[in-house]
Chain A
Amino acid sequence: MSSSSTTTTTTRLLMLKASDGVTFEVEEAVATKLGAINNMVEEEGSEDLICLPNVNGKFLGMVLEWCKKHANNNTNSDKGNDEVNKWWDKEFVMDLDQNTLYHLLMAADYLSGTELVDLLTEKVASMIRGKKVEEIRETFKIKSDFLPGQEEEIRKKNSWAFE
């Protein structure tokens, strides 16, 4: 903590530095929604600049945007907050392209943003659910690498699941 005279209302600011050198200035209350940052703050105490060599600026920015929304919404303690958060989360993931989605997921995981990981894994799962195997491959641009006959063998062994 700084030794300034007025202690009550000043919120501490942290500098987060992404792998590509981009820096973000965020309130401590926002950044500590991320488990990894929370740990660093608790451990290192006085250090205000935190380097994050595994996340680039674009995705760190998006993760922090999500944190900010959730931190703000949580400070007003009325009942509608959950609803607001849900609605906002829905917007947040709606138009993500796959590449962004995966990088964001990796960033959220690296920063231990548990709730954000939940949100993003749920989004990917929703892209799998209800689809046929061929559609899943197409959605995720995956090529089957089974040897000839292997796939048929698994299908045959579990024919009930493909009826």
Chain B
Amino acid sequence: MSIVYDNLLQEIFLRLPDKRSLIQCSIVCKHWFSLLSDPQFIRAFHERSPDHPYTIFFGITIGKEFIYELFSENSKILHGGNHRKGNYLDFMPWSTSHVNIRASFEDLLLVSHSWADDYCICNPLTREWVALPRAPKSNYGKCGLMCERKGVGGGDKGLRRSNNINDQYRFKVLLITDCYNKGNDSVFDGAVFCSETGKWSPSVFSFAFRETLLAWTNLICPSDFVTSNGIFYSLLKERMSDRIEGIVAFDPSMDRNTSSEFADPKRCLFIRCSIDFGYRWQEKICFGAVQGRLRLSQVHSVKGDLELNVLELNYGNENGGEWVSVHWVKLQRENANDDHMLVAAFHPNNDNVIFMLRHRRDIYKYKMREKSYEIVGQLPTPYRYMRTGTWTLVHP
């Protein structure tokens, strides 16, 4: 075996059935270990896998502890490591208790340090990461990530010849640090990091009140951003209210030097979607992108019944789009107290499937067209509350 070149050995390892056998083989000898731990190899291995595996990270609070838990069993095998502790990011340069997941895009996560203005982009499967330069100061800044895979030149024999995230992707990170009113405009201050320049550039986005016919006093982006087709989308609400007023779309490609105080108002578009989510609104709304379309779901209580509504943004009218309902259903309760049901995530590859959480623990897969559901997993213990939601990774 020692005469066989490494590239051929890796071709052989690519034919092993799963991550489990890779790990078993990795302890045969040091040489095999190094070949099997090579990030390029791991990526190539998952690219061969026929069923486009995906991973959903749940950010949950159990007791006093905030942890990330993975769905599903397959994902746990995929990510390996000491998954019992719910610790999938232990390769990061920071102590894992300081790592916060902020956004996901394809197989990458945007993570931030819990108290410094530091951001990293990482791939939990290949355990690669790249640190961004120190970001502009922000107390409660919100952010989003978008990436574009770079073409890989040369013959692709299953193994990509690239060494790190910077070589594989062009990416942009949007950070909004402040929202305020100025004249008739709602203004968003922030910065865009672009991997091409390697720098954060200050960016100001704004839209005019008159577009919305409402004069708000204190708007905020209450959560991190969703990305779809090169646009960042953020929910928008009044600071003191539980009502989501709509979403705002940031187009980072229309970047320019903002020497003037006001940016081009077209750079940011408001799309109305007025729904009152009530107390603990974060748990009642799920906002995400499914195969290039933007979806919003809501579970709410109407006269004692729970209703599930899934909306999709229809692009293309002059107001930037309107929301149409793709699914509406009354949910059955087991008893009067059984009101804890929420949409946890959209299935990344199947627009007919959403994942729901029930009893603060059980993960259900719900097929909308068939109106059928089945339990597919369970969190280790019931969570106290879903602090920051879920992130979906799709492995190439």
Q: Is B213 an interface residue (CB 8 A)?
A: no
- Asked if B28 contacts A136 (CB within 8 A), the reply is yes
The interface on chain B, measured as residues whose beta carbon lies within 8 A of the other chain's beta carbons, has a size of 32
Q: Is B281 an interface residue (CB 8 A)?
A: no
- Asked if A142 contacts B1 (CB within 8 A), the reply is yes
| 0 or 1 for each of B328-359: is its CB under 8 Å from A? (1 = yes) | 00000000000000000000000000000000
Chain A residues near B185 (CB, 8 Å)? none
- Asked if B24 contacts A102 (CB within 8 A), the reply is no
Q: How many residue pairs, one in A and one in B, have C-beta atoms under 8 Å apart?
A: 86
- Asked if A109 contacts B15 (CB within 8 A), the reply is no
- Asked if B21 contacts A128 (CB within 8 A), the reply is yes
- Asked if A137 contacts B28 (CB within 8 A), the reply is yes
Considering the chains assembled together, what is the distance between the CA atoms of A132 and B25 in angstroms?
Answer: 9
Considering the chains assembled together, what is the distance between the CA atoms of A162 and B20 in angstroms?
Answer: 8
In the complex, how many angstroms separate the beta carbon of B48 from the nearest chain A beta carbon? 12
Q: Is B4 an interface residue (CB 8 A)?
A: yes
The interface on chain A, measured as residues whose beta carbon lies within 8 A of the other chain's beta carbons, has a size of 33
In the complex, how many angstroms separate the beta carbon of A152 from the nearest chain B beta carbon? 9
Which of B5-13, B109-117, B287-295 forms part of the interface with chain A? B5-13
Q: A121-B11, A136-B28, A142-B29 are in contact. Are A158 and B4 (CB under 8 A)?
A: no
> Which interface residue of A137, A144, A158 has the most chain B CB atoms within 10 A?
A158
- Asked if A161 contacts B8 (CB within 8 A), the reply is no
Which of these, B1, B12, B24, B27, contacts A121 with CB under 8 Å? B12
Q: Which chain A residues (117-163) contact chain B, with CB distance < 8 Å?
A: 117, 121-122, 124-125, 128-129, 132-133, 136-137, 140-146, 151, 154-155, 157-162
- Asked if A125 contacts B12 (CB within 8 A), the reply is yes
Q: Is B3 an interface residue (CB 8 A)?
A: yes
| 0 or 1 for each of B71-98: is its CB under 8 Å from A? (1 = yes) | 0000011001111000000000000000
Considering the chains assembled together, what is the distance between the CA atoms of A162 and B24 in angstroms?
Answer: 7
Which of these, A102, A128, A155, contacts B25 with CB under 8 Å? A128
Q: What secondary structure prevails in chain A residues at the interface with B?
A: helix
- Asked if A151 contacts B27 (CB within 8 A), the reply is yes
Considering the chains assembled together, what is the distance between the CA atoms of A144 and B81 in angstroms?
Answer: 22
In the complex, how many angstroms separate the beta carbon of B36 from the nearest chain A beta carbon? 11
Considering the chains assembled together, what is the distance between the CA atoms of A34 and B23 in angstroms?
Answer: 34
Chain A residues near B82 (CB, 8 Å)? 157, 159
Considering the chains assembled together, what is the distance between the CA atoms of A125 and B77 in angstroms?
Answer: 20
In the complex, how many angstroms separate the beta carbon of A75 from the nearest chain B beta carbon? 27
Chain A residues near B11 (CB, 8 Å)? 117, 121
Considering the chains assembled together, what is the distance between the CA atoms of A94 and B19 in angstroms?
Answer: 27
In the complex, how many angstroms separate the beta carbon of A36 from the nearest chain B beta carbon? 13
Considering the chains assembled together, what is the distance between the CA atoms of A140 and B12 in angstroms?
Answer: 13
- Asked if B12 contacts A128 (CB within 8 A), the reply is yes
Q: Is B215 an interface residue (CB 8 A)?
A: no
> Which interface residue of B3, B24, B77 has the most chain A CB atoms within 10 A?
B24
Considering the chains assembled together, what is the distance between the CA atoms of A129 and B15 in angstroms?
Answer: 9
Q: Is A93 an interface residue (CB 8 A)?
A: no
Chain A residues near B223 (CB, 8 Å)? none
Chain A residues near B17 (CB, 8 Å)? 129
- Asked if B8 contacts A109 (CB within 8 A), the reply is yes
19 A/B residue pairs, CB under 8 Å, sorted by A: A106-B8, A109-B7, A117-B11, A121-B8, A121-B11, A125-B12, A133-B24, A140-B28, A144-B28, A145-B29, A146-B27, A146-B33, A151-B27, A154-B23, A154-B27, A154-B33, A158-B80, A161-B23, A161-B77
Residues on B lying within 8 angstroms of A by beta carbon are 1, 3-5, 7-8, 11-13, 15-17, 19-21, 23-33, 76-77, 80-83
